A and B are shown apart, each in its own frame.
Chain A
Amino acid sequence: MKKISLLLAMMILSIGSIIAQRNITGTVIDSDGEPLIGASIIVKGTSTGTVTDVDGNYSLQVTGDNNVLVISYTGFSSQEVSLGASNVVDVTLEEGLALTEIVVSGQGSGIQRKRLSTQVDVIDAEAIDRLPANQIDQLLQSNAPGAQVRLSSGQPGTAAIIRTRGPISAASSATPVIIIDGIRVDNLNSNPELGINSGGADISALADIPVESIEKIEYIKGGAATTLYGADAANGVIQIITKKGRPGQQSAFFETRFGNIQAEDKWLRFDRTGEAIFEPGFSQEYKAGLSGGTEKFSYNVIGSMYKDDGFNDLNEQIRRSFNFGLTSNMSDKLTYTGSFSYTGFEYNLDYNANTSFSRFSAAEGGAFGNLDEFSDEDWDVLKQDLRDRGALTDITQRVNRLVASNKFTYNILPNLSANLTVGIENRNSRQQEIGTNAFQIQVGSIAPGTTDQAYMNRSVRNVFTTSSDLNLRHEAKYNEFDFITIAGGNFFRTNDNQELLEGSQGVDGTSSVNNFSTKTGEDFALQNANYGIYFLENIGWRDLLFLEFGGRFDQNTSAGEDVGFQFLPKVGLTYNISDHDFYANSGISNILNSLRVRANYGEATNFAEPFSQDRTFVLESFLGGPAFRFDNPGNRDLKSERVRTFEAGIDLGFFDYRLNLEATYYDATTVDALFTPDNIPSSGQLAQVTNIGEISNTGWEFAMRANIIRSGKHDLNINASYNYNENIVESSGGAAPFNVGGFLVIGTWVQEGESLGFLRGTKAVENPDGTFEFEQNAFLGNSFAPHFGSFGLNYSYGKFNFFATADYQFGGTNVDLSLLLRYIRGVETEGVVPEEIANRPFFDLVQYFTDDSDFVKVRNIGASYDFGSLLTDKLKNVRLGINMTNPFNWTAADFDPETTGSGVGNQNGFASGGFAYGTESLPRIIMGSLKLSF
């Protein structure tokens, strides 16, 4: 009887729920009547929702009759619609500043953008999907208006130097922290400590960050925006939020891309270099995904495979990835969000830049003489030799990377929730270089006929990172005030273990170190744990004025013994003036319809390399026996360097948001900057990283977005940004200038009163009487370009879309090292230096080998057309696209100022760039794509 009662009760409840369920349909369009594809429709207060199809239509099951729908679309103001009697809800969205968009990065928990005083660059799925790039740095380039992304080589596996507000640290590569769904991932943007040196263009962990399933990227630039992250976030944070699927009908897609890859030969000194080394490549990519779900459970699965054989005759890369994301409403109060991604990446490299094995730098640097002066017969011999070298070159890299993120949200009360994020990343990479006897004979390093001098190096790096964050979020209202309070704690821990195996005196035909008669090994380890507690209060007044303040107590195991918790404060104010009624009713709002001012102050830090606080010794091998030496002197007071940032800005929306301008001024001072100058020589001790420096970065950031044409089916948007950075080393703490890159003759240096990493060398100064004086250690230019930005356009006509992106920089200086080498080798001497001093040693002439690093580069031009449903209803859309990468560029100098592979420092080193040398530029790629959506 009891069971029957229970069954009846359940049936009644079920019937009730059926009765209450409604099917809401509608169309979402913009103010010109164009359908918005992929607009989000969510039942407010739930995770129930769907997205619009290619015609802007949607269909959604909702329960109850008092529901409110929230309709949002990136770049448009969100709308809330209360459901009435009608089951059809059509919505027109207005373009806007997206201030209602939820931002998660740097806040502990999601918070509306309009409440924030800090700037966030957001790159949405649409912008990401249209780019053929498969590296995070390439996605950011010219899409993040405040970022300076300089791709340092066309070799696979290499990545860009990324900076925003200038070089803030002499102890790091300036690479932002990268977070995937709340989990920190390896962002080492240089060769590992025990990595194999292939010359100069170093491989990077950024090259295999999974990018195949991105919902959006949030990029925050340091300062107050990153305070809550604590240590290591001063360079900014890039957060990747992956797709988790949405409730609604199951959808699927299949996409394929085919590309032709051509080397960029514009900057070659000798066309014959390209003739020997370059050959057109072919790329192919296949990607498929499945997405869908119910109110209780949604999912997104994407798998992809990519392969190309590069523009260099020996390069090849293969990339495989699998991504899975899900959301599960486990109960009314508990929601679980999880994601998992795998990336497998294999490629091979050519030697480049600073190694005599490099075909490219040897040819361009004049090691073979003037290639133009070779007779055809002689050239054929050398060309074949270079090709044979390429065929025998064997440097490979394999990476396997797994990221898993788990997030639990528990709504304790309607206005109180708890969020727990736990996850791991594991990245294994293996570099291998085999120098067969045949290879060494080919490059002339051993005598023909040698059979027992083969060598092999294998470098293995394993990085395991654990991340966790637990916070409570509380919302409250009191009269005209509302409060969002977030408090929590987090930690991350990274173990970086590296091993280098070396075999020598071997025969050819093996890739096992076991088969070499001499075997040696090295290891290297870093361990670091960072943890802290944080709080944030965001107070709103009438939804107009917002005050935020908070801070973090931060601790790091890389600090010295005498250093305790560090407190990092932040405070900010945002005033949305145009939201006042009086403003809305005034005539000015017809022109300037949005006016917002914001200001904030915040501190963020970078920690020193783990273990650099310890005093250590080393046991060297010296002529077969053990030999001790002093190593790191140790520093009990070592702590993270602290970047204090004040920023203020104004956001303006004109003509119904058709013209949007943002301007931000920042003043960031790195105090207790981590400098590693040479120790006082009389101590006999090695350099010790110490908190003695002070670096100042001030600048302006301007961004503009404009809707130029909005007429009928025509829609043309343009965007542009300009950034200016002024950098100066305010204090070196009494230390002598120290070198952070380059050479004795001309290098990048840290010196009080100059910009960080400026170029230093001898300057020849001409006197009025025509004689010259030579000033040693003179300023020869900034290795960073202080002026930079991006611009682009996006035009659509109905279902046709065309876009272009570009970026630029000016004001910097690079060294043309290839020219210097050609000069030294006597290959190119005419007109390089003034005749009167041509007999001077080249140490006195280095300024003549520098030039402006100005450029304007068009990164992408693409077009696509959505055919809609073809052949069968199940095929909802067919999109055809074509994309050209790096089609056009202009540079002030005769070299490519981006190819600064040889300027990228060692692990945890400073990346100044500044030396254009010896590695290929990024290729031009023409790629066609076909995407079928089901």
Chain B
Amino acid sequence: MKKLIIFSFLLAFMGCSDLVDFTEVENPNLSEASVVGQLNSSTIWLSGIERQLSLLINEIVINAEIASDNYTNDQTFFNQFLDGLSIIAQDDDIADLQFDLHRLREMAVFGKVEVGPNDENYSTDTEAEYNYFEGLAYMYAGMYFTGLPAEAGGAPLTDAANYAQAITLFDAAIALNPLPEYYAAKARVHYLLGNKAEAVAAATAATDASADFLRAATFDEQEDPDNVMEDALYERGTFDDLQPLPTLDFLDPKYSFNTAQEDDPVYYMKAEEAWLIQIEAAIVDGDFGTARTIMSALLDLVNSRPARSIDDSIEGRTERDIGSRPDSACVVVNGREGLVLDRNEGNVSIPNVSGTSLTQEDIDGMTMTDPALELLYRTRQEIFIAEGMRLVDMGVKFVISETEQLQNDNVSQGTVGTEAQIPSFIADVADQLDAITFDKGTCTATTVINLNEILVFNKDDKAVLPFN
């Protein structure tokens, strides 16, 4: 009986212990088991990768555009050091860019290795996308850094090695699903490597697949990430005020308010680029006819791209010293008319995929070789404005962040990637990249330097004009 009583007490206590177990806690968030091994998880993971690409594009575009001659920024909380081409390892924005780039790679790899193979509905299209996004991570690594690790804490790969990885992955994607943007990505990498034949082949394959394809990084106005460049250019706070070079005024703002749900996309891979590669190869080869023909086709394509009519009357061109920058249609920039818009005379029409001041007359009158290259690079600058490409055309590359350097045993000062790449001819004009003179009375504006001319003049430098 006594034993029975004790047993009953023990039983009651054990039952009771559940009631008084105050140490039980439950994390309501998703564990790995909720992601890996679930039906359709590969598709949701792919959406996550797309989202990550948008985060990366945000970091690339805002910083690369400020660092380039496209935009000046001396009175906003966006990065001002980069505006003066001061590139140091302690720059937080560079660290963020590097992080987002690696994160894109890690997400793609996790998709390929863990999520996809454990999802019954994993498709070859999705697998192709995983390869494509992983390839993009390597491609951007090569575009913006002279060296970056390919794994957590790994030794930095040179930009060429990163490009090689990218090509392998784009080929894998193409083998699974030959989309034009996969070819275009491959073409860009070959272009940047200076592999003219391979670049033209891939670019041609891209335009053959689609003469006007577009691949966009999309943005969620409501849930984030929204388009940061759009914030900077249009949906501004009271003092954010990026100013374009007056020669590019008519292309600004490339991004403007779309809907309360979706922000303007960034078309980071588009047919124009594949055409431009083919044109540049033709110019370098001395094949003027082909160059002019493709250039005309490119002009048609650009002119067929949509433009948005927007109310940009809030744009004062500078709020700090109103009237100090060109803001009227009368302004002639570097002797050219029509580049500056009057934003207080009703809506303005701004192309939001590609725009250019290039005309058929320019094409017809194009002379070889350097003037053609200069015209081409001016056109590249216009078509790629607010996409982060101009900095690449300038041959400037960032530096491995201090955060990586301190925690990565394979990186020390002097290791590849730890020095910024700024071609000497760019460093010489770093203070003049965004500089202009403006005479309001005569409606005349002049850029202090013609960077396209400088680039072409230095075309033999391996950092720029890769086909030369």
Contact residues of A with B, CB < 8 Å?
A: 356, 362, 367, 466, 491, 493, 504-505, 523, 525, 527-529, 531, 557, 610-611, 614-632, 677-685, 734-737, 739, 743-745, 776-777, 821, 824-826, 841-844
Contact = CB atoms under 8 A, between A and B. Distances in A.
A683 B152 contact: yes
Contacts of A616: 27, 29-31
B80 A620 contact: no
A123 B102 CA distance: 55
Contacts of A632: 29
A626 B44 contact: yes
Interface stretch (B81-89, B176-184, B275-283, B350-358): B81-89
Interface in B148-176: 148-149, 151-154
Interface residues of B, number: 72
Contacts of B107: 629-630, 684
B226 to A, nearest CB: 11
B262 interface: yes
B404 A682 contact: yes
Contacts of B45: 628
Nearest to B76: A824
B407 interface: yes
A67 B74 CA distance: 82
Closest A-B pairs by Cβ, 4 of them: A684-B106, A684-B103, A843-B80, A627-B47
Interface of B: 22-32, 34-35, 41, 44-45, 47-48, 50-52, 73-75, 77, 79-81, 83-84, 86, 88, 90, 92-93, 95, 98-99, 102-107, 110, 115, 148-149, 151-154, 218, 220, 223, 237-239, 260-262, 319-321, 401-408
Given A629-B48, A734-B407, A743-B77, 16 more contacts: A367-B238, A523-B28, A611-B25, A614-B31, A620-B51, A620-B223, A624-B261, A626-B44, A628-B47, A680-B153, A681-B404, A682-B152, A682-B404, A683-B102, A735-B406, A777-B88
Nearest to A367: B238
Contacts of B260: 504-505
A616 B34 CA distance: 9
B77 A678 contact: no
Nearest to B403: A736
B148 A776 contact: no
B81 A843 contact: yes
30 contacts: A528-B25, A531-B23, A614-B31, A617-B32, A617-B34, A617-B35, A618-B30, A619-B30, A620-B48, A622-B220, A623-B220, A623-B262, A627-B48, A631-B29, A632-B29, A680-B404, A682-B404, A683-B152, A684-B105, A685-B106, A736-B402, A736-B406, A744-B79, A824-B320, A826-B320, A841-B80, A842-B74, A842-B80, A843-B80, A843-B81
A777 B223 contact: no
A619 B261 contact: no
Nearest to B55: A629
Contacts of A684: 99, 102-107, 152
A348 B77 CA distance: 31
A356 B238 contact: yes
In this complex, the member of B80, B95, B110, B321 whose beta carbon has the largest number of chain A beta carbons within 10 angstroms is: B80
Contact of A841 (B48, B52, B84, B402): B84
A525 B29 CA distance: 9
B31 A617 contact: yes
A615 B223 contact: no
A185 B230 CA distance: 45
Contact of B218 (A623, A683, A735, A736): A623
Centre residue among A523, A614, A628 by max chain B CB count within 10 A: A628
A744 B320 CA distance: 21
A628 B35 contact: yes
Given A628-B48, A680-B407, A682-B153, A527 B25 contact: yes
A739 B80 CA distance: 18
A617 B107 CA distance: 12
A681 B239 contact: no
A277 B92 CA distance: 38
A737 B88 CA distance: 14
Contacts, number: 187
B95 A681 contact: yes
A844 B81 CA distance: 8
A367 B237 CA distance: 11
Nearest to B218: A623
Contacts of B153: 680, 682-683
B407 to A, nearest CB: 4
Contacts of A505: 260
Contacts of B24: 529
A825 B50 contact: no
Nearest to A617: B30
Contacts of A629: 48, 51-52, 107
B28 A525 contact: yes
A824 to B, nearest CB: 5
B29 A611 contact: yes
A423 to B, nearest CB: 14
B51 A627 contact: yes
Max chain B Cβ within 10 angstroms of own Cβ: one of A618, A620, A680, A744:
A680
A739 B92 contact: yes
B80 A736 contact: no
Contact of A745 (B26, B48, B77, B262): B77
Given A531-B23, A617-B32, A680-B403, A622 B102 contact: no
Contacts of A631: 29-30
A681 B403 contact: yes
Nearest to B152: A683
A682 B153 CA distance: 6
Given A627-B48, A744-B92, A825 B239 contact: yes
A42 to B, nearest CB: 36
A684 B84 CA distance: 28
Given A681-B98, A683-B106, A744-B92, A825 B319 contact: yes
A839 to B, nearest CB: 9
Contact of A681 (B22, B320, B401): B401
Contacts of A620: 48, 51, 223
B239 A824 contact: yes
A776 B52 contact: no
A617 B27 CA distance: 12
A682 B29 CA distance: 25
B31 A466 contact: no
A132 B32 CA distance: 54
Given A621-B223, A629-B51, A825 B23 contact: no
Nearest to B148: A682
A13 to B, nearest CB: 39
Contacts of A491: 22
A611, A626, A629, most chain B CB atoms within 10 A:
A629
Nearest to A614: B27
Given A629-B107, A684-B106, A615 B31 contact: yes
Contacts of B218: 623
A736 to B, nearest CB: 4
A491 B25 CA distance: 14
Contacts of B74: 841-842
Given A557-B23, A680-B408, A681-B95, A627 B80 contact: no
A744 B152 contact: no
Contact of B152 (A618, A680, A844): A680
Contact of A776 (B41, B90, B105, B401): B90
B408 A615 contact: no
A493 B51 contact: no
A777 B90 contact: yes
A142 B95 CA distance: 43
Contacts of A821: 239
A549 B223 CA distance: 55
Contacts of B98: 681-682
Contacts of B103: 630, 684-685
A631 B44 CA distance: 15
A626 B38 CA distance: 14
Nearest to B411: A682
A155 B238 CA distance: 24
